[in-house]
Structure 1
């Protein structure tokens, strides 16, 4: 216990170790469950904010800018977390090196939970004026910094330690947290929007999901600590497979592979927000549809996304990860040419957009964490993978809702697909460049 009476990182790790001792060695299935729980909690926090940035914050924090202007400002604040995330990784890598993985995860997840739950107490513009927006930005920075610290290396560990014929299968496991987090967040918001009167929802109802997020984070924290103290994880740490290294030396040694890892999944990360945040904003602003109904459509699409992520593991092992990522990028490019128009096609068009979009996203996103992890020097893998993930999210997803909504509202709904198309083109070019680079190196 610390001075405030709250359990310390050391006591949490000790409790987790005692549970492991009572239950014996944790098997791969239990590790997978722990990883999924951890990632689901992160993405639940992420999507609670994303949904509120469409249906709550424009009216609550930016009412003076109008519905469209308020949403664009809300999306600009949304991107702040992606800018802060690499800074969070740098900070928490230093904490990891000095105090250990358990301390790092405890601080990061408590910061994430605290930043999220404090959003539930956010005052309105009518109450606090522009200070409400300042508080929103500060808390969003807190979320971003914390997300940089929640990297535990488990996606890389699963990718590199899996059997040779099962690497794709193991790499997709952590990715299941994204659609599962969206399912829970969408269901909760849909229920509140449908059951509460508008004045009650905007007064207090929207705050409830942010409070739930803190409780989920506590469960996820303990699940992750159980993984951190397992003999398998500790052995990987001691063998330097998951040891944090100085950032400058890591970038110096791995910069080419990191660039490939950042831009190779660009289509995937652009697609991520094109089927989660952007369509909700378009439907909310430009149709008469109740947001609760579209949130349920998103939930249905996310269920297809879960199935597609699972399928990506089998397909990657059977046909190769590079072929799957390249084929998914080509399909996303084709999708970008006609998909946005479906959002103006009523319920049938929206369902088609979400189901097809989530299937393509699942196939690509399922292998996003394992595209480059195997190629890093084992000594640098932990730090290089964390930084690569941060910048891939920043360039691929951070500004996607803002760019897509601005293009669509300025030039028509079809223009929203241009952002998605640009990501797909970059992915295909990087895969081609990586293949050319590998061929030239093999001839040296």
Structure 2
């Protein structure tokens, strides 16, 4: 009997590690696709796809096409979240991986404006929409696979592991583009060098599919299915019974998203176009920041299991709110050490928010609508946060020629996050074994 118990425990740990590993790697590959577009928008898309306008306007148009992906993400969240709550988490994650990978590969094959004219930016925008649609269903499923397979007493840590897929994807995307910048001159990079990382998505699709097809379905979903607790229209159930939770999930991430895209994406534009730093130096800053995030996201996820989701989350938001007023002055010193310090501290604060975010958001919703509710709240905030952040930042600098309005904007969005998290209940001590029907009483 003891031997059987030990074997079962070992099997559970193996299944848990495989589920978490599959979520991390698969999510990293999908965020690679997503961030590759964002970094390319900051570096080359204004020239390749929008060459008929001045550089600043071209950058705005490139970021505008970047924002289209955020508009598509809530649509993907509704569609894939609905199916994820009805037919299972695993199947949806395989589908979203295929959608993301194929659309990214096709972007690498697109002709530029000089060859295809206006059709080139139109096709780019359409493929960006498809990218966002796929990613809309990715996050919720990956997080739930880790959380629902994970140790019930360490849900914050378990759910934080897929979160490092964001900096891993960022690291891969920026690393690939940086390598091509080093291997090619400016003309070659604009002609074909930027396309290579997009085409590599074909290889990543194969790796991601192999991993995800070998992961078992979420045990909580299987329990819901066996007990007959699935609902026919999960997204409608969320809108009918979970409106407060949906608003909290959306508001809690707005500032987190804005801070991320300013510290990671807009910083490339600011350093290269406003400060005058070389592209390779700017992308190096992002690489170092991404590596820092990988280390600290699980640390703060684990800390939220000990201290609670809300204290850790709020601490990170307040820290980022204050730091943004030191962030831009440090960038303008043109000193690499101070620039790295600026982004390191900014991303440390962001990791304190993003580490507990997955558990915080998913624990707001009962298990039978968790995929739909968490995904929709997470992706709605993307429109109000990350989609607009680079555009607003560029527009504010173009209007005032100063970093101060940008810092005020970021601080305002982070204040929304602080308030949203403060009015939420603390969920780190909830009993995870409760059924969906019990949670809704």
TM-score, normalised via structure 1 length: 0.86
User: Is the 1:101–1:228 contact (alpha carbons within 8 Å) kept by the matching residues of 2?
Assistant: no
Q: 1:150 maps to which residue? A: 138
For 2:396 and 2:294, how far apart are their aligned partners in 1?
29
Equivalent position to 1:402, from 378, 385, 391: 391
Which residue of structure 2 lines up, in the alignment, with residue 336 of structure 1? 324
Specify whether residues 39 and 143 from structure 1 end up closer, same or farther in structure 2 by C-alpha distance, changes over 3 A only: same
Q: Distance in 2 between matches of 1:33 and 1:100?
A: 18
**Which residue does 2:42 correspond to in 1?**
54
- Counterpart in the other structure of 1:428: 418
Asked if residue 84 in structure 1 is aligned to residue 72 in structure 2, the reply is yes
- Aligned partner of 1:4 in structure 2 is none
Check if 1:216 corresponds to 2:204.
yes
Does residue 247 in structure 1 map to residue 226 in structure 2?
A: no
Q: 1:269–1:396: 8 Å Cα contact kept in structure 2?
A: yes
Shift in Å, 1:102: 5.3
Match of 1:350 in 2: 339
Instruction: Determine if contact 1:171/1:313 at 8 Å carries over to the other structure.
Output: yes
- Would the alpha carbon gap of residues 239 and 217 (structure 1) be closer, same or farther in structure 2, given more than 3 Å must change? farther
Contact 2:38 2:66 in 1 (8 A): yes
How far apart, in 2, do the equivalents of 1:241 and 1:155 lie? 21
Question: Does the aligned pair in 1 maintain the 2:257–2:386 contact within 8 Å?
Answer: yes
The answer on whether the counterparts of 2:327 and 2:343 sit within 8 Å (CA) in structure 1 is no
Partner of 1:129: 117
User: Which of residues 308, 311, 315 in structure 2 aligns to 1:323?
Assistant: 311
Supply the distance in 2 between the matched residues of 1:189 and 1:157 (Cα, whole angstroms): 31
In structure 1, the partner of 2:365 is 376
The alignment partner of 1:391 has SS state of helix
**1:138-193 Cα deviation digits (max 9, x unpaired):** 11111111112334634135446654542221121111111111111111111111
**How far apart are 1:239 and its partner, in Å?**
5.3
The corresponding residue for 1:15 is none
Aligned to 1:362: 351
User: Where in structure 2 are the equivalents of 1:269-288 lying within 5 Å?
Assistant: 269-288=257-276
Counterpart residue number, 2:432: none
Q: Structure 2: how far apart are the matches of 1:244 and 1:296?
A: 48
Deviates more, 1:112-121 or 1:348-357: 348-357
RMSD of equivalent CA atoms: 2.5
| Contact 1:157/1:242, CA 8 A, preserved across alignment | no
Contact 1:83–1:394 (CA<8 Å) still a contact in 2?
yes
Q: Determine the C-alpha separation between the residues in 2 that align with 1:230 and 1:380.
A: 14
Against the structure 1 CA distance between its residues 202 and 374, is the aligned structure 2 distance closer, same or farther, given a 3 Å change threshold? Answer: same
Q: Residue deviations 1:171-227, cap 9 Å, x none?
A: 211111111111111111111111201111111110000011232122112322222
SS in 1 for 2:161: helix
Q: Which runs of 5+ in 2 are unaligned?
A: 1-9, 427-441
Q: For this pair of structures, how many residues does the alignment match?
A: 414
Q: State which of 59, 79, 97 in structure 2 corresponds to 1:109.
A: 97
User: 2:433 aligns to what?
Assistant: none
Which of these residues, 244, 248, 253, is aligned with residue 256 of structure 1? Answer: 244
Instruction: From 402, 407, 410, give the equivalent of 1:417.
Output: 407
Task: Give distance in 2, aligned partners of 1:173 and 1:242.
Answer: 27
Question: Deviation digits for residues 78-127 of structure 1, max 9, x if unmatched?
Answer: 11011111112333345557876555434322221111111101111111
The answer as to whether partners of 2:252 and 2:420 remain within 8 angstroms in 1 is yes
3-state DSSP of counterpart to 2:367: coil
Check whether the contact 2:60–2:394 (CA below 8 A) recurs between aligned residues. yes
Which secondary structure does the structure 2 equivalent of 1:345 belong to? Answer: coil
Q: CA deviation at 1:310?
A: 2.1
> Out of 152, 161, 168, which is 2:156 matched to?
168
**CA separation of 1:94 and 1:166: change in aligned 2, threshold 3 A:** closer
SS in 1 for 2:264: coil
User: After superposition, what is the alpha-carbon deviation per residue over 1:316-339, rounded to whole angstroms, capped at 9, x for unaligned?
Assistant: 122211001111111111012221
